[in-house]
Amino acid sequence: MSDLECGGRCFGEGEGELLTLTYPKPLPMRLDRWLVAQRPEQSRSRIQKFIDAGYVRVNGVTGRAKTPLRHGDTVELWMPPPEPLPYLVAQPIPLAVLFEDEHLIVLNKPAGLTVHPAPGNKDGTLVNGLLHHCPDLPGIGGELRPGIVHRLDKDTTGCIVVAKSQEALVKLQVQIQKRIASREYLAVVHGQPAADSGTIVGAIGRHPADRKRYAVVSDAGGRHARTHWQVMERLGDFALLRFRLDTGRTHQIRVHCAHMNHPIVGDPVYSRCRRLPVELPGQALHAVQLGLNHPISGERLVFEAPLPPVFAKLLAALRRRTQSGAVLSPTALSMAEQNLRAFIAAVQRDQGLQQQLSTTAAADADEVASIARGAGFEVRPNDLVSFGDGALVDYEDEDYFMKPLWWTLAGSGAG
């Protein structure tokens, strides 16, 4: 390869950025290592690609990774413009922008919008919309694409930050890793946690039986995950929780909520109780707040995303049902408990019901509740799960099941 022709491009000509640096150290140092230190916004592999392509010169001669630099050497680095990716197409997708400058953009992501193209979603994603919204992206890793700092599940709504340059991406990712950036979420969950706050620590990995799901697994079988939670409102058979993440594992909040026996309302993967006062597009999980230091200026920025209308509608419906704003109605709780205890007492007396409830299908709380309603008792699945702090159910593989002969565990005459 000649000094003038580099991968079909002329060195330093056309679009791109040409940097001229002087090596200042008294002791020699490898070219690749020094360039990585000088250009922290570029990954090590990216610097290596520049060198391999002939885009780096030392004193006018094409350099190699191991070229030793000596005091006073002139190093020229030419960075060509980012190349478009054929599978990424700009599409006019509406975006709710919370903040934007030349380095980053913060969005309020709606439900139903996948963040990045994948085999099942090749277009119509957040990235496709960003390519249309930001036609002058400087690129990431030499490719014309936005830098995804962190992700939100398809049906999770709220704050998400995207980098416009490699430098912004690297610095924001470091903030996520070192917990300089803060991420807080709101979710409506089934049931009422016994405490007002707590921390869930449980490694997350692939579900052993269903590879499309995740679960809390052994430390050796998954990645460390920590979620802090606090009850914001108690809403009858539901609760509004606020979460703060120390880690960012796939489905982390959803898996941890299911693990503590309080799955998120509307979650199609980790929740089984789907009878809700409002039809939801997916899990009622919203990234309400994002805090970070600006990757260039260092200024602390905090963004808040308003609740999506369907989430607000769900809260309003649950508050109306409690008839006391955001406090659990003792009368409503007493009525639900009375209905359940009356059903349990009937089962204890009726061998026909016992036989019906001994089938394999009746291990499911939804099926038991259906049998109860068929017998004239208004019983809900969550009533069965929460009775006696979970005394009637077993929790296995991120799911709960009625214990065998569970009606014998409720006490004589159901207490």
Catalytically annotated residue among 32, 73, 153, 267: 153
Paired tokens of 47: 């610097």
Instruction: Please say if 246 is a catalytic residue.
Output: no
Q: Is 339 helix (H, G, I), strand (E, B) or coil?
A: helix
Q: Is 296 helix (H, G, I), strand (E, B) or coil?
A: coil
Count each helix (H run) and each strand (E run) in the chain, helices first: 10, 24
- C-alpha 247/C-alpha 6 separation (Å) is 42
Within 138-284, strands assigned E span 143-144, 147-148, 157-163, 182-190, 197-201, 204-206, 214-216, 226-235, 238-245
- Residue keyed to tokens 């409506």: 188
In 3D, which of 217, 225, 227, 224 has the Cα closest to residue 197? 227
Structural contact between residues 299 and 171, judged by C-beta atoms closer than 8 angstroms: no
Alpha-carbon torsion angle 165, 167, 169, 173, nearest 10? 180
Enumerate the active-site residues: 153
